Amino acid sequence: MANRVHRITMFKLPSKDEQAKLLDQYHKLNASQQKDGKPYILSMVVGAADEDARSQGYTFVSKTEFASMEDMKYYDEGCQAH
């Protein structure tokens, strides 16, 4: 298995409008994310969480995949799109 970094981020956004806005922001991020002139996010899957007691109030989930911890750190600290 490759040494990739998988990041799961969960949000508690009860409003469908807030969820739609966040989804739009993720789409914009995915379209414009670059590091050293090329895309650096290997995979991004986002959307509403299933309505289930096990969701514990989380309504929106993002799974982002990076090639390295360095790329994830860049996402947090240096990415202009983020």
CB of 82 closer than 8 Å to CB of 44 = no
Q: Does 82 fall in a domain?
A: no
Rounded CA gap, 78 and 82, in Å?
8
The predicted structure's pLDDT at residue 3:
84
Could you tell me where the DSSP H helices lie in 1-82? Answer: 16-32, 69-77
Q: Looking at residue 68, which CATH number applies to its domain?
A: 3.30.70.100
Q: Does 46 fall in a domain?
A: yes
Give the pairing of strands 5-11 and 60-66: antiparallel
Domain that holds residue 37: 5-77
Rounded CA gap, 56 and 44, in Å?
23
**Between 80 and 18, the higher pLDDT residue:** 18
pLDDT in tens, 37-79: 999 999 999 999 988 888 899 999 999 999 999 999 999 988 7
The two structure tokens encoding residue 75 = 């996402």
